């Protein structure tokens, strides 16, 4: 009975339309409210309106949000004519007055919209959630970028390091916070509370940044292990049943996982502050620690190598590796993989930055590439992205500035002599011109 | 021995020069650091540099600060040519890209300077202190206004209501905080801890806004008294030895003092939020409260009346009053004073706002002028500024929006019928045109 | 080679002896220290000695503890002659002086030993642990009972309700505390954090008593569920995937689990306070709650029935049940089981108390037996001990005193009319004399 | 009109009688309730009854309390016959059973009364207040001593050091707590908050013991000053306007005031624990501190000297001093006063203890008498009791045990060689037999 089917479909469609209709009408109401909120200068009822706006937003569904984002992009940008006039005046006479006027007209009214919404209870959480939804639509709707730019600008100011609180996470931390760590952990999956508990014993540490307006919500957290020497594999660190060591005898602190928790705060990075602050604090507490290193994946390695191998027969064994999906026991194999990785991390650039995203983060922070460890990460994800390779980036606080300078200005990666040597060895293999770098 | 004197003077001058020289060299070093801080894009050592900048600033004395403020005004403004070019492009094609570029070049680099400084420990407190010093110089050096504008912009964002914490202040509050209340109280002097203690008994309340980055620092606080009816004098409220009433039987909550504590946060007003939030909370806690009013001074009254009386002989008795410095017992005197005050508060405008600064605040918040109380404040300050008059502004939360609208859009002050009548009576006295208002 | 074996055995024995020897020497040292601790009147170095005693105790192993307990029993009791003399004097002249002297000599010096040990950091936890070890030995060594009596006396005083803190346990509670709940839960096993999380949702509640000297250590906790009506089975309450209800619409609060956490505090019951306090607080918070009941096992039911069935053929079906290990679907079966349970709980006494231990607790608290629910607990333990039966005890705060009186003085169990009827029906079945109870 | 007068007097008397009558009837009701509370074994409604008892007690006035105390003394003591019988049985057969029985019947039921009352909210505070009232009556009514003995016994157990919390008091402490310090300070009056503030600056410290059941109520507190060397006068320490020193450079920590705050806890001394704990903690925090001393009054000095001078003409100058009320500038005068004080503190005994109450406390704690400082305390109280003399007791933690032993067992006061010499010099002056001590 195709007819019955069609009827049902139509009914369902009508129902969906009705729902979407209601949702969009709600969004339209919200847009109207936001216009009022932002023109209303006296703020007499700003608190009430802001609360209403937050409640309306939180009631929206996908179609409503789509409409809202679109309107935010179209209706809350600065007026180009006014901006041009103000810029002209400022060009003629750059005074406090003309500058003030220019700033007033060129700031998108969206920013005031978001500041006002933020004033309501739960406003900050709502806006962080809003940006997270916005980012999901951004790829397909690039005209929403200016909305994102405004949120990014505000969040950069609001989540300034000076407003963040560094807190140690341990087994006395509320379960609701620990649960979030389990959920968010991006690098090495935490398999429930008992697994997490091992990561909080006295030879491990965990620290997170929190913001006062998002209580109980870690923004970014780092997991540290105290070990005897710079580690070349992650399995011993993650093993639940391992013996608990004495932090007062450890020589090396390993940052083995750094995770951002809030998709809505993407790019508002405080991870760099976190690592350095934690290194500084641990150094003061445990003078026995001589080395602060990461144990990091090389997530762009496989993709880059696949692309490169397509052009170079000499990379055959590595190609085979790619196909086999696991390190092969051929002689010299690990060396070959290490050399290629050293090259990839120190010589491959993309718009003035290291090509690998994790390398970009640590090298940009002023870390030094200490060692390449093949067969370090047996996990599926580790194989798939990094061919099982992990590397150590070293944070020697006294050298961070120099490393950073040389990376940023001269595009030279700070690396240990061993890594340097490996990178040079890779040239022939990769068919690179051995000319001066 | 004038020569000896001259020698000493010269020596002292040399010494002062040397000190100033050292202070200014320090400021120059700081300016240089700020330039680095802001161009340095990778932030690798941002934390260290920010700390250094904060420390350098806190070591400056007056001459160093003068130099710093001047350089901030001159060297950290946007480049007019770049702004003009960006505005032209945006005018031609208003896209996310052109808007982003415009915003980037028109934001004064000062803002980034301040954001970076804020990231250091104690950075926020340092910047609030910096602005307080800046405001002291502003009158004589108007070219510093753009520096102030940037701080105002940032503080407006950072001290957003959503980031403030409302806290009740009582006798269990740390003494260090209570001491600040005693120091800051601007309206009715608190004469030490025993006096303050009376203001924190159960028939009184005190609430303050705090910001997480300035722990222990009240931003603005309000003092409330629970009484039987709308009060016409402040003395009974301030009396230390008065009987302590039962808050569950009071009908009226009086906001008898609202004080901003941080000179560096001038204009970043959260007082309006504070009053309404407290009214809302008290209403929920004590349903017996039927009325929320202030007992406020009229600080512009005497100055305005002196100016006006110079032109109107009929104001002679009031003039006499001005000279006597205290209310005279002549018949009808209080009525005359009340009428003139009612006129002043409801009919005298200055650039679209009520002329009296306190009236401006409460009427702008949507309050209603309830009653004029002559002989309400016997203090020297009360006589000097307000001729002893105090008025009640009423906060009926349901009417705030309407009152505000009528005040902002139609320049009509919401007032009780009694006050309206008094304002009309004053016309003849003041020689005003009795035409339609 | 039996000889070799014997040699090894001898060596191992020597080794064990050596260990035991060291342990016992340690205990002897501790006993000596305790003698000093208690005769030393000035307390000048009491703190240091107490710390040493606690450390020594915590280093003891089984043999050392055995020696210590024995010595505590033998060497720290009152001197019978002194006691007799003091009692005689008090008999002759009962004055404050003679009473004071009597009390001084009849108090076992052990109590002072324990009070002194308690003064060290962690002393309370050590003593609670000590008693837990002592209780393990008590059965086989009845002469240790006076040591236990002294600890019981002190703990009764120290863990007085006035010193306990009632705290709500929820998902924001530290994981270390929640882990203890999972470990200790005696009634209905908690299968990890996700299971516990369901028990802390908004239609569930959990409360515990804490003592300030044992931070992070729950003493006793109760789990509550909000439901529509008095429940007749525990499975729906324990189901992890159940829909989360609205506490503002529930009519009945069910105490479905009460667990004491500290073996060393056995008999220092605060569970009765806990239930009544929680009932009182919940009643104040949620006026919609009309009924406060437990859902409790009948852990003595099977043992009692087995004993009784051995003597009565009419109990054959129930006997069969005992053998089958699960309720049989025979007609009238549930009725028979319910009647017998009603009889057991209301008519079977043991030394003036209800025979069933759980009944003893709740009836002693003044609760009323509301309903018998067969097939209420399908768990292995529930079947093994309670034949799957659970009962509701009702806490109507206004009737607690009367119920308690009637239970304590007249040995009459407060029960609903339905339960009373069932108990009467059981007489024939059990061959009881239907005479007046 | 004497008649009218008599009538009024009679009326007033009747009124007072009526009030007393009501108060006493209330007390009788309470006594009856306490009897129930204590016989009621099941505790079913213990919480409710305890609350009622506490409320009744707190409503009593003087006459009611008098009646209550009297009844507590008479009706809640152990039964002498039962005690005698139990003691006889224990004499015959000292077993756990007979001991348990003896303890049960010899413990005054008063103790259970107090334990039950303690279980109510605010119970502990009520009992501490009750004892304070009891102590006021004790002198005139010695038969109340057994009531006091029971409270002392319980408080000794409840306020065990293991349950106390050491807290630092500083300017961030709640004003309500600081106010109590101002009120309670017994040694050197604190003249309001500004005076107290100076005592909490960084070159001063203040610590107090708190009990969890009396939140916000300091039990005993100690005030410490960090100085360069052992001080010989208190004025520089108390001076409000003095320069604030650097605690990291001080060599000497002076305990210049130790004050018990709760009259109801008299004799439940934790002051000794406090001093030693604070000394230990400060030593760990500030290794630069080399000496821990008190600066203490000698409150029994004048009374003892007056008594002695009556019998010895050679004490004439000192007698004159007594009459003049201030140190006289005669040659050798200070030496004479110091010698006599050294004698008084090291040679004058009373029932095996030092005669001076403050000496008794510190010497009993194991301190050493370091130095006698004449003209050290110019205050009226200092002159009146101590003739202006203050002494330093030294707490060298390593010697405390030995000093204590020698003081307790051999009645030898640990003193510096200077003090020893002074004490010997005093013999002639005092006409003491210079025989062996």
Is D316 buried (19+), middle (13-18) or exposed (0-12) by CB count in 10 A? exposed
Judge contact between C381 and C299, C-beta under 8 A.
no
Q: Which residues of chain A have pLDDT under 50?
A: 1, 42, 434-437
pLDDT of residue C436: 44
Q: What is the pLDDT of residues B342-392, one digit of tens each?
A: 999 999 999 889 999 999 999 988 999 999 999 899 888 898 899 999 999
Which chain D residues are within 8 Å of C120, Cβ to Cβ? 162
D36 touches chain C (CB under 8 A): no
Contacts across the A-B interface (CB distance below 8 Å): 192
User: For all residues of chain B together, what is the average pLDDT?
Assistant: 90
Q: What is the pLDDT of residues C40-93, one digit of tens each?
A: 654 566 778 899 999 999 999 999 999 999 999 999 999 999 999 999 999 888
Which chain D residues are within 8 Å of B216, Cβ to Cβ? 172
- Which residues lie below 8 Å from residue D185, measured CB to CB, with a gap of 6+? D257, D259
Question: d(Cα B381, Cα D9) in Å, to the nearest integer?
Answer: 53
CA C18 to chain centre: 38
C178 touches chain A (CB under 8 A): yes
pLDDT of residue A433: 54
Question: d(Cα B347, Cα B431) in Å, to the nearest integer?
Answer: 13
Question: d(Cα B366, Cα D152) in Å, to the nearest integer?
Answer: 63
Which chain C residues are within 8 Å of A178, Cβ to Cβ? 175
| The pairing of beta strand C204-210 with beta strand C220-227 | antiparallel
Question: d(Cα C36, Cα C56) in Å, to the nearest integer?
Answer: 14
D partners (3+ CB pairs within 8 A) are B, C
Whether chains A and C touch (3+ CB pairs under 8 A) is answered by yes
Evaluate if residue C220 carries a pLDDT over 50. Answer: yes
A142 touches chain B (CB under 8 A): yes
Nearest CB partner across the interface for A176, out of C171, C179, C216: C171
Which chain C residues are within 8 Å of D43, Cβ to Cβ? 272
pLDDT of residue C198: 94
Neighbours of B68 (CB within 10 A): 24
Evaluate if residue C273 carries a pLDDT over 50. Answer: yes
- Nearest Cα neighbor of C293 from C342, C374, C229 is C229
Q: Which residue of C has its CA nearest to D363?
A: C44
D366 touches chain C (CB under 8 A): yes
- Nearest Cα neighbor of C345 from C287, C403, C286, C393 is C393
Angle, to 10 degrees, between the axis of helix A62-75 and the axis of helix A2-39?
Answer: 40
What chain A holds in terms of domains, given with CATH numbers, is: 4-158 (1.20.140.90), 162-294 (3.40.630.180), 296-429 (3.40.630.150)
D43: left (phi over 0), alpha (psi -120 to 50) or beta: left
Neighbours of C194 (CB within 10 A): 12
Kindly provide the b/e burial profile for residues C290-302, where b requires at least 16 CB atoms within 10 angstroms of the residue's own CB: ebbbbbbbbbbbb
- Which residues lie below 8 Å from residue C387, measured CB to CB, with a gap of 6+? C298, C301, C302, C305, C321, C322, C327, C337, C374
Which chain B residues are within 8 Å of D216, Cβ to Cβ? 172
Judge contact between A208 and A220, C-beta under 8 A.
yes
> Which DSSP string do the residues of C230-293 spell out, in sequence order?
--S-SHHHH-TTPPP--TTT--EEEEEEEEE--GGGTT---HHHHHHHHHHHHHHH-TT--EEE
Judge contact between C211 and A214, C-beta under 8 A.
no
For the ranges B16-20, C251-255, D102-106, the maximum mean pLDDT occurs at C251-255
B206: left (phi over 0), alpha (psi -120 to 50) or beta: beta
Structure tokens that stand for A102 in this block: 């220019």
Mean pLDDT per segment of 10 residues, for chain D of length 437 residues? 69 74 94 86 70 95 96 94 91 89 93 94 96 96 95 96 96 97 88 93 96 96 96 91 92 95 89 91 95 96 86 73 63 86 94 93 94 92 91 92 87 95 88 54
Question: d(Cα D432, Cα D437) in Å, to the nearest integer?
Answer: 11
Judge contact between A122 and B163, C-beta under 8 A.
no
- Under DSSP, is residue D368 helix (H, G, I), strand (E, B) or coil? strand
| The pairing of beta strand B204-210 with beta strand C165-168 | unpaired
Q: What is the pLDDT of residues B169-189, one digit of tens each?
A: 999 999 999 999 999 987 788
Judge contact between D321 and D327, C-beta under 8 A.
yes
Of the residues D121, D125, D155, D162, the best mutation for testing chain C's interface (the one with the most C CB atoms within 10 Å of its CB) is: D162
- Nearest Cα neighbor of B177 from B222, B205, B217, B122 is B217
pLDDT of residue A76: 95
Kindly provide the b/e burial profile for residues B156-171, where b requires at least 16 CB atoms within 10 angstroms of the residue's own CB: ebbbbbbbbeeeebbb
- Which residues lie below 8 Å from residue B421, measured CB to CB, with a gap of 6+? none
pLDDT of residue D228: 94
Whether the complex's predicted ipTM surpasses the cut of 0.90: no
pLDDT of residue D42: 46
Q: Which residue of D has its CA nearest to C93?
A: D80
- D91 to C81: CB separation less than 8 angstroms, yes or no: yes
Give CB contacts under 8 A, 24+ apart, made by C241-250. Answer: C242/C198, C244/C201, C244/C202, C244/C203, C245/C203, C246/C202, C246/C203, C247/C202, C247/C203, C247/C286, C248/C286, C248/C288, C249/C288, C250/C203, C250/C226, C250/C286, C250/C288, C250/C289
Which DSSP symbol is given to A252? E
pLDDT of residue B209: 96
Whether chains D and B touch (3+ CB pairs under 8 A) is answered by yes
Helix (H) or strand (E) holding A244: none
Question: d(Cα C175, Cα A172) in Å, to the nearest integer?
Answer: 6
Question: d(Cα A193, Cα C327) in Å, to the nearest integer?
Answer: 38
Question: d(Cα D359, Cα D385) in Å, to the nearest integer?
Answer: 14
B58 CA to chain D: closest CA distance, Å?
21
Judge contact between C423 and C347, C-beta under 8 A.
yes
- Which residues lie below 8 Å from residue A2, measured CB to CB, with a gap of 6+? none
Q: Which residue of B has its CA nearest to A152?
A: B100
A172 touches chain C (CB under 8 A): yes
Of the residues B175, B181, B216, the best mutation for testing chain D's interface (the one with the most D CB atoms within 10 Å of its CB) is: B175
Question: d(Cα C141, Cα A12) in Å, to the nearest integer?
Answer: 78
- D44 to C364: CB separation less than 8 angstroms, yes or no: yes
Judge contact between A20 and A63, C-beta under 8 A.
yes
D114 CA to chain C: closest CA distance, Å?
10
Q: Which residues pair with C165 in a beta bridge?
A: C210
Neighbours of C311 (CB within 10 A): 9
Structure tokens that stand for D260 in this block: 């018990």
Which chain A residues are within 8 Å of C179, Cβ to Cβ? 171, 193, 197
B123 touches chain A (CB under 8 A): yes
> Among the residues of D161-300, which ranges form H helices?
175-184, 193-198, 235-238, 271-285
What counts of helices (H) and strands (E) characterise chain A?
19, 10
CB hemisphere CA count around B27 (13 angstroms)? 19
Which chain A residues are within 8 Å of C216, Cβ to Cβ? 172
- D44 to C145: CB separation less than 8 angstroms, yes or no: no
- Under DSSP, is residue C139 helix (H, G, I), strand (E, B) or coil? coil
Judge contact between A367 and A400, C-beta under 8 A.
yes
Which chain A residues are within 8 Å of C173, Cβ to Cβ? 174-175
- B99 to A87: CB separation less than 8 angstroms, yes or no: no
- Which residues lie below 8 Å from residue D325, measured CB to CB, with a gap of 6+? D383
> Among the residues of C107-234, which ranges form H helices?
109-118, 123-138, 145-158, 175-184, 193-198
- B100 to A146: CB separation less than 8 angstroms, yes or no: yes
pLDDT of residue A432: 66
Q: What is the pLDDT of residues B404-419, one digit of tens each?
A: 888 988 899 999 999 9
- C172 to A175: CB separation less than 8 angstroms, yes or no: yes
Q: Which residues pair with D418 in a beta bridge?
A: none
Question: d(Cα C157, Cα D64) in Å, to the nearest integer?
Answer: 28
Query: What is the distance between the terminal CA atoms of chain D, rounded to a whole angstrom?
Result: 73
Neighbours of D418 (CB within 10 A): 14
């Amino acid at each position: 009975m195709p007819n019955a089917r069609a009827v049902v479909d139509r009914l369902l469609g009508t129902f969906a339309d009705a729902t979407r209709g209601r949702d969009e009408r709600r969004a339209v109401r919200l847009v109207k409210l936001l216009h009022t909120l932002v023109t209303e200068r006296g703020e007499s009822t700003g608190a009430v309106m802001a609360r209403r706006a937050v409640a309306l937003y939180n009631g929206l569904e996908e179609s409503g949000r789509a409409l809202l984002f679109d309107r935010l992009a179209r209706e809350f940008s600065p007026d180009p004519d006014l901006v041009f006039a103000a810029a002209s005046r400022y060009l003629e006479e750059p005074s406090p007055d003309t500058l003030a006027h220019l700033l007033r007209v060129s700031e998108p009214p969206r920013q005031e919209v978001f500041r006002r919404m933020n004033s309501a209870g739960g406003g900050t959480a709502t806006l962080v959630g809003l940006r997270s939804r916005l980012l999901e639509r951004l790829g397909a709707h690039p005209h929403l970028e200016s909305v994102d730019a405004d949120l990014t600008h505000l969040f950069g100011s609001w989540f300034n390091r000076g407003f963040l609180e560094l807190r140690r996470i341990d087994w006395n931390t509320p379960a609701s916070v620990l649960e979030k760590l389990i959920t968010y952990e991006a690098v090495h999956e935490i398999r429930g509370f008992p697994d997490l508990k091992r990561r909080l014993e006295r030879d491990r540490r965990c620290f997170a940044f929190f913001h006062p307006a998002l209580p109980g919500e870690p923004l970014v957290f780092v997991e540290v292990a105290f070990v005897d020497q710079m580690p070349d594999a992650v399995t011993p660190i993650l093993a639940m049943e391992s013996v608990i060591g004495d932090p007062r005898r450890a020589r090396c602190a390993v940052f083995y996982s750094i995770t951002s928790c809030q998709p809505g705060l993407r790019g508002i990075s405080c991870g760099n502050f976190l690592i350095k602050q934690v290194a500084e604090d641990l150094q003061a507490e445990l003078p026995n620690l001589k080395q602060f290193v990461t144990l990091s994946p090389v997530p762009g390695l496989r993709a880059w190598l696949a692309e490169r191998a397509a052009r170079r027969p000499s990379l055959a064994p590595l190609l085979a590796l790619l196909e086999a999906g696991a390190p092969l026991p051929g002689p010299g194999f690990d060396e070959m993989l290490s050399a290629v990785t050293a090259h990839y991390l120190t010589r491959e650039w993309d718009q003035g930055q290291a090509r690998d995203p994790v390398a970009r983060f640590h090298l940009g922070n002023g870390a030094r590439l200490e060692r390449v460890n093949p067969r370090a990460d047996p996990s599926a994800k580790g194989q798939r992205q990094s061919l099982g390779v992990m590397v150590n980036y070293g944070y020697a606080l006294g050298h961070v500035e120099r490393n950073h300078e040389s990376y940023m200005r001269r595009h030279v990666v700070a690396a240990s002599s061993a890594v340097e040597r490996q990178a040079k060895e890779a040239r022939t293999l990769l068919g690179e011109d051995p000319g001066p770098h």
